Chain A
Amino acid sequence: MSKTDWPLYEVFIRARSGLSHRHFGSIHAADETMALDHARDLYTRRNEGVSIWVVRSTEIIASDPADSDSLFEPAADKIYRHPTFYKIPDDVENI
């Protein structure tokens, strides 16, 4: 059997209606149909979800870890961006 590595797919699963799809892991598959089957077979064995997305890993555009300083560090000292300065009335339960 000729053997070339199957491409990698990232698997996203929606745990239940109303929640967002969350990244669960990755699998190898030869095509999209197989990717969906494999995702189902590997990641929903214990009732993990109600919906699956798969996407070719190469289709994901990722930030470069080397850029972390410029991308994320500046947010560290902007405490005014957090809604911590508001007084929450006692009667408000869900916020």
Chain B
Amino acid sequence: MTKEQALITYATRMGDNAIVMAQRLSEWVGHGPELEEEMAMANFALDYVGQARMFFSYAGELDGKGQSEDDICFLRDGWDYGNVLLLEQPNGDFGEAIARLVLFETFYSLQLEGLVSSPARKLAEIAACAIKESTYHIRHAGHWLIRLGDGTDESHRRVQHAIDRLWTYTGELFEADQVDQIMQAKWEGPDLTVLREQWHRQIDALLSKATLQKPADGWMDSGGKQGHHSEHLGYILAEMQSLQRTYPGANW
């Protein structure tokens, strides 16, 4: 794999993470626990859509085959999607949405920070732009994690369950495959081993503030980055892509 190919795949995977997260967050519209919180979720979803667009456009531009952001987003199948499994898991209850945001965003903001000095200039610029949004997402979700964890017996139990359930999908975040290795070696991308330690420190601090137990690192599920997904991704893509698949090139 050339370093250019690795960069294209890496940018596409980041776009995939962003768009799948956006889909899951947007499912909260009409189902939020409070109007204000629903707006927050919708805002976050739109932040992610914006980021996905930038990553996809960039990947398409690098690839040079004339693929638009929409082509990349709407015309690829599940096995071409390289999002991590954590993000395609069903929403569950509000505690689970918060747990997922905290677990992913803590990783994501570190990943973005690790990219801002990359010689892949445009990727670095997108990262610098996305960090600001990501920082707020962590702040918001972190507040909620503490509130739920340190709240009532029921909220504590439910958010602990969410953390326990999603934990098995956190290992994949730090698994470096060839693409990550080339990114690190040739494009000054983040070192996932270092990033993992930073992530654990931040998560430890947050969980202890929220009076929650950190699950033990047991068996970890993975494969999302390489296109091996759970059945859930298919449903997300079916819903998201149906319009472009039915009416190719539709525009409004």
Chain A residues within CB distance 8 Å of chain B: 1-2, 6, 27-31, 33-34, 37-38, 40-42, 45
Chain B residues within CB distance 8 Å of chain A: 33-37, 39-40, 43, 136, 139-140, 143, 147, 152, 154
The interface centre, meaning the residue of A27, A30, A34 with most chain B CB atoms within 10 A of its CB, is A34
From residue A34, how far is it (CB to closest CB) to chain B in Å?
7
What residues on A are CB-neighbors of B140 within 8 Å? 37, 41
Is A28's CB under 8 angstroms from B36's CB?
yes
Is B147's CB under 8 angstroms from A37's CB?
no
From residue A45, how far is it (CB to closest CB) to chain B in Å?
6
A28-B34 in contact given A37-B40, A38-B40 (Cβ < 8 Å): yes
Among B39, B147, B152, B154, which residue has its beta carbon within 8 angstroms of that of A34?
A: B147
Is B143's CB under 8 angstroms from A42's CB?
no
A38-B43 in contact given A30-B147, A33-B143 (Cβ < 8 Å): no
Chain A residues touching B, majority SS: mixed
Specify the chain B residue showing the minimal Cβ separation from A41. B40
From residue A40, how far is it (CB to closest CB) to chain B in Å?
8
Is B154's CB under 8 angstroms from A41's CB?
no
From residue B80, how far is it (CB to closest CB) to chain A in Å?
33
From residue B152, how far is it (CB to closest CB) to chain A in Å?
8
Kindly state the separation between the CA atoms of A45 and B36 in the bound complex, as whole angstroms.
13
What residues on A are CB-neighbors of B139 within 8 Å? 37
A1-B154 in contact given A30-B147, A33-B143 (Cβ < 8 Å): yes
A38-B36 in contact given A30-B147, A33-B143, A45-B43 (Cβ < 8 Å): yes
Among A2, A6, A31, A45, which residue has its beta carbon within 8 angstroms of that of B34?
A: A6
From residue A25, how far is it (CB to closest CB) to chain B in Å?
11
A27-B36 in contact given A34-B147, A37-B143 (Cβ < 8 Å): yes
Is A42's CB under 8 angstroms from B36's CB?
yes
Specify the chain A residue showing the minimal Cβ separation from B44. A41
Q: Which 7 A-B pairs have the closest CB atoms?
A: A38-B36, A41-B40, A37-B140, A27-B36, A33-B143, A41-B39, A42-B39
